[in-house]
Chain A
């Protein structure tokens, strides 16, 4: 075991962490503004990968067109989710959180099944969006796609941070996250804003599904395998916190990148579970979590 291997492990970990963070950001947007967990965004992640294969490999579209199309499809699916799952339940249900969770688990099972019927069950290698030839820093061969993933994450995260602080929509979003009813009383168009949040979350999920293609082949099950570490990331970082989603994503990514170098690959998940339990026992809301989202009483 040498430093080069460790370096590759860390680089892979950071890239994986970037993808988990991106998926986590989509979930966090929705959790923070509506306190709801829409499991079905994992299918949107899978959809992103499958569309990438379809547009780039089958149809031979230019990269830019494919990215735009994938983002659009993601945004539209987020919008549809708001209309079909979120809105019909408002005001009709005792426990909105559970109802939405269960309904979207059902939807995502169905959506994955449809995807696998249409796309076939086998994972397929998507054409790379950047050169697959690694570049070398300090004897460590690095993938260009890692650089893309991390840069996109940094761009989106800083864009978020900036617009939350400096734009009117950002302020409204902060108000919505802190006090749903209060925001409504202040004249924030809550339902319109929520629709926007869903669309943005859908966009992020599809984009994450596209970006991961060099690391994981496109298939109907990609989303459901990625969502588990993304969940773990949010739990460690704290639900509803953007910082938490990113830090948690990195922690989980690094564990996944490094642990297999030294131990059985099957040890990854038990170690992650251990980390989650440990973090939550010390800080029940996760590292950066918002107490009001966890303690509902």
Chain B
């Protein structure tokens, strides 16, 4: 029994679940009922309650924007409250002082919101995590100061008084019209956010969050992805902020301060960051609570704070995820009772089970080239790439890099031809990974050059280097844990086949054809790697290391790059996975690609590779062509025997 077979098979688990389309139907039905209830609310409630509901709807709408940046893209851009504020001031000032019409002020307000977000996000292009959180958090304070500084214009601390209503409450049904306008604005806000992530941008944002390196080496610009995130997250905030000015009939800086920031952020994190409905429910609950208790009481703050703390401590990954986990665990226990013979290794989320890990260790070197070549005949080969084979696809010249004065790589030179598989071997610390980092543009060399497909790669950023035709995998796989193998392979397709920004924002739901195409291509690549249907549809975090490595190789293949660098792809693979990996590499070789791999598994290296580069202390000891046909040179034999001795000990 190998780790592959013991991986959880979603098919079997689904047997105990309500059929998917049915739950989907029920869920959609519930949402329609809720929406209808919201729409007909004016029939039941007083005008004050209606006003409260309007506020809740607008904050919920805005939270869907924050969810884009914080939940999906993992960018801690906490300036959402002030983005609302900027739009509110724009709307209020333009209508009140400049006498613009309501409708004309909307696009202007939206533009102001986006520009303000970009100014704050500018810092985010170079920083991440806590730092970005801090800078954007600071902008919340600065907002009030700026309003004060522009007192003559904005009314300062007292705020902007006398802003018109959406529809005058004196007119017949004015209140109802206003309310329904708010509903439309909130729904549009949610739709804008949802359809953006429904397109291939959803995948791109999650890759930015969980595997930015993986995204960059797939040729996608991190900077552009961030910029897109900032713009899209500002749209719902802009819409709702603009609307808020007319609902409150005033704009004051205190509304867009710390407490709104915290409520929005908490609302997003509370239930299910990175899902569409989670933040809506979270923010909705928080706002309903605070309106019930009265927003200005100390008890409101006390309750909100405690709720937030307790919920995070109980469900640290968000209620939805936490609750989902619990249900999965229960279901699994049930399943085990049903089938006592079921093996323990199949627990979901289980890391490479220890029982199989030992087997993996034993079988690790079992790689049979002949068997691989035999099985390859049954696979339709990849579309062969046509390259002038005379010119090497990858040329490394005098590459040099030191860390704090320690020379890690000293003037390394070698080249890999189309259809060649070259291995970089050497002891730990001999500079293998450093060389791959420099080739893929993640690390700048101190001197020397890398030429990919005839073009100089040195000095470009990682995604530009990748676009020249090189991609790579990592020692620690850089994948999106909550997504399936298929979706992770799709990341590799984003550069060539992802939809454009405008299509994502304006017609994200209409890109289903593109989605289907991405799926189909990713499926095909996964099958080439010998992955089963159930493995393809399993979340990465539930898979053992070996399959994660294969998923990364799949992503590399998906980019269509003629040069592929693999950093210890065979580490942690069992014999079946090794076989599949070897098969994929030989198939890539036959399609005329150039492959460079760093590897410790000698049998695998000898079975797959044509040429070997031996490194010692950052220097190239020797380049040995055609190691399988020529007798093994002395240096290699010494190196290999040392590896064997170490392995035996």
User: What residues of chain A have their CB less than 8 Å away from a CB belonging to chain B?
Assistant: 37, 84-85, 88-89, 92-94, 97-99, 101-114, 116-117, 121, 224, 228, 231-232, 234-235, 239, 264, 266-270, 272-273, 276-277, 280-281, 284, 286, 293-297
Given contacts A107-B305, A239-B130, contact A117 B298 (CB under 8 A): yes
What residues of A have a CB within 8 angstroms of the CB of B129 in the complex?
97, 294, 296
B645 interface residue per 8 A CB criterion: no
Asked if B134 is at the interface (CB within 8 A of a chain A CB), the reply is yes
Are B266 and A106 in touch, CB under 8 angstroms? Answer: yes
B262 at the interface (CB under 8 A from A): yes
Which A residues are CB-close (under 8 A) to B313?
84-85, 88-89, 103
How many whole Å from B588's CB to the nearest CB in chain A? 27
Within 8 Å of chain A (Cβ to Cβ): is B568? no
In the complex, A294 Cα to B312 Cα: how many Å?
Answer: 23
Partner of A110, one of B122, B145, B211, B309: B309
- The 7 A-B pairs of least Cβ separation, nearest first, read A106-B308, A109-B305, A110-B305, A106-B309, A93-B316, A113-B302, A103-B312
Q: What's the Cα separation between A276 and B309 when bound, in Å?
A: 29
Which of B123, B213, B302, B308 sits near A103, CB closer than 8 Å? B308
User: Does chain A have a CB within 8 A of B196?
Assistant: no
Given A97-B129, A110-B306, A280:B123 Cβ within 8 A: yes
In the assembled complex, B212 has its CB within 8 A of some CB on chain A: yes
CB-defined contacts of A94 to chain B, threshold 8 Å: 316-317, 481
Contact pick for A228, options B131, B141, B310, CB 8 Å: B141
Given contacts A108-B305, A109-B304, contact A228 B130 (CB under 8 A): no
Q: Which residues of B contact A109 (CB under 8 A)?
A: 262, 301-302, 304-305, 308
A102 touches B123 (CB 8 A): no
Provide the residues of chain B in CB contact with A239, threshold 8 Å: 130-131
Chain A residues contacting B302 (CB-CB under 8 Å) are 109-110, 113-114, 117
Residues of B within 8 A of A105 (CB): 262, 265-266, 305, 308
Cα A270 to Cα B126 with chains together (Å): 20
Q: Are A106 and B312 CB-contacts (below 8 A) given A113-B305, A269-B142?
A: yes
Cα(A295)–Cα(B134), bound, Å: 15
Q: Judge whether B138 is part of the interface by a CB distance below 8 angstroms.
A: yes
How many Å lie between the Cα of A108 and that of B265 in the bound state? 15
With both beta carbons as reference points, the residue of chain A lying nearest to B541 in the complex is identified as A94
**A235 to B134 alpha-carbon distance, docked (Å):** 8
With A89-B316, A103-B312, A109-B304 given, can you name 15 additional A-B contacts, CB distance below 8 Å? Answer: A89-B313, A94-B316, A105-B262, A105-B265, A106-B308, A109-B301, A111-B305, A113-B302, A264-B148, A266-B149, A273-B135, A273-B139, A280-B131, A280-B135, A281-B126
How many B residues touch the partner, as a band? 35 or more
Q: Which residues of B contact A93 (CB under 8 A)?
A: 316-317
Q: Is the CB of A276 within 8 A of B138?
A: yes
Q: Which of B126, B148, B149, B307 contacts A106 (CB 8 A)?
A: B307
A269 / chain B contacts, CB cutoff of 8 Å: 138, 141-142, 145
Majority secondary structure of chain B interface residues (helix, strand, loop or mixed): helix
B122 interface neighbour in A92, A108, A266, A277, Cβ under 8 Å? A277
CB-CB contacts of B313-350 with A at 8 A, as 1s and 0s? 10011000000000000000000000000000000000
A112 to chain B, nearest CB (A): 7
Which residues B198-216 have CB closer than 8 A to chain A? 211-213
Provide the bound-state CA to CA distance between A105 and B145, in Å.
23
Measured CA separation A85–B198 after assembly (Å):
35
Q: Known: A94-B317, A277-B123, A281-B123. Contact between A106 and B134, CB under 8 A?
A: no
* Closest Cβ neighbor of B74 among chain A residues: A95
* CB under 8 Å from chain A, chain B span 120-134: 122-123, 126-131, 133-134
B269 beta carbon closer than 8 Å to chain A: yes
Q: With A97-B129, A267-B149 given, is the CB distance from A276 to B269 under 8 Å?
A: no
Residues of A within 8 A of B133 (CB): 101
* Complex CA–CA separation, A20 to B282 (angstroms): 34
- Which of B149, B258, B303 is most buried by chain A, counting CB atoms within 10 A of its CB? B149
Q: Is B146 an interface residue (CB 8 A)?
A: yes
B137 at the interface (CB under 8 A from A): yes
A264's partner among B123, B149, B307 (CB-CB below 8 A) is B149
Q: Which residue of A lies closest to B141 (CB)?
A: A269
Q: How far is the CB of A14 from chain B (nearest CB, A)?
A: 22
Contacts of B139 in A (CB 8 A): 273
A272 to chain B: which residues have CB within 8 Å? Answer: 138
* CB closest chain-A residue, reference B299: A113
12 A-B pairs, CB-CB below 8 angstroms?
A102-B265, A102-B308, A105-B308, A106-B304, A106-B310, A113-B299, A116-B298, A121-B298, A231-B137, A231-B138, A280-B123, A297-B478
B154 to chain A minimum Cβ distance, whole angstroms, is 12
User: B145 contacts A268, CB within 8 Å?
Assistant: yes
Task: Give A84 to B313 CA distance when docked, in angstroms.
Answer: 9
Q: Do A276 and B135 have beta carbons less than 8 Å apart?
A: yes
Q: B145 touching A102 by the CB < 8 A rule?
A: no
With the chains together, A69 CA to B620 CA distance in Å? Answer: 65
**Known contacts A106-B304, A239-B131, A276-B135; A98 and B123 CB within 8 A of each other:** no
Closest-by-CB residue of B relative to A224 is: B258
Residue on A with the closest CB to B261?
A105
**A297 B135 Cβ-Cβ under 8 A:** no
Question: Which listed residue, A114, A234, A267, A294, touches B127 by the CB 8 Å rule?
Answer: A294
User: How far does the alpha carbon of A293 sit from the alpha carbon of B128 in the complex, in Å?
Assistant: 10
Give the interface centre of A103, A107, A109, A276 by most chain B CB atoms within 10 Å. A109
Q: Smallest Cβ distance from B212 to chain A, in angstroms? A: 5
CA distance A192 to B146 in the complex (A): 46
